[in-house]
Amino acid sequence: MADEYEIASELDLKGLQCPMPMVRVSQEMARVPVGSVVKAVATDPACKADITAWARLTGNQVLSVDEVDGAITLLVKRLG
């Protein structure tokens, strides 16, 4: 799925526990231009719900959530 989007920034969040993956994604989204996609790779299962809820509340969009061998990859698009 990541191949379908131009990734503006990649975050390695492996080993971070809730709420830090969401906090780091939020900080990175403030740095990239509107329309950009941030790729985040985390290992905390809670990040799926946390980042999805954060995106919904902030007007951003989770494009995909994939999990392979405990690594969770999220693509998040900055909409506003």
Catalytic residue among 18, 32, 63, 65: 18
78 has a pLDDT exceeding 90: yes
Give the model's pLDDT for residue 3: 64
Helix (H) or strand (E) holding 56: helix 46-58
Round to whole Å and give the CA distance between 2 and 58. 22
Give the model's pLDDT for residue 8: 96
Containing domain of residue 60, as a range?
2-77
Based on the residue annotation, tell me whether 18 is a catalytic residue of this protein.
yes
The structural domain count of the chain equals: 1
Determine whether 32 is exposed, middle or buried from the number of CB atoms within 10 Å of its CB (0-12, 13-18, 19+): middle
63 or 5, which is more confident? 63
Structure confidence by residue, pLDDT tens digits, 23-54: 999 999 999 999 999 999 999 999 999 999 99
Q: The CATH number of the domain where 63 resides is what?
A: 3.30.110.40
Structure confidence by residue, pLDDT tens digits, 49-77: 999 999 999 999 999 999 999 999 999 99
31 or 5, which is more confident? 31
Q: In what order do the strands lie in the sheet with 37-42?
A: 7-13, 37-42, 71-77, 61-68
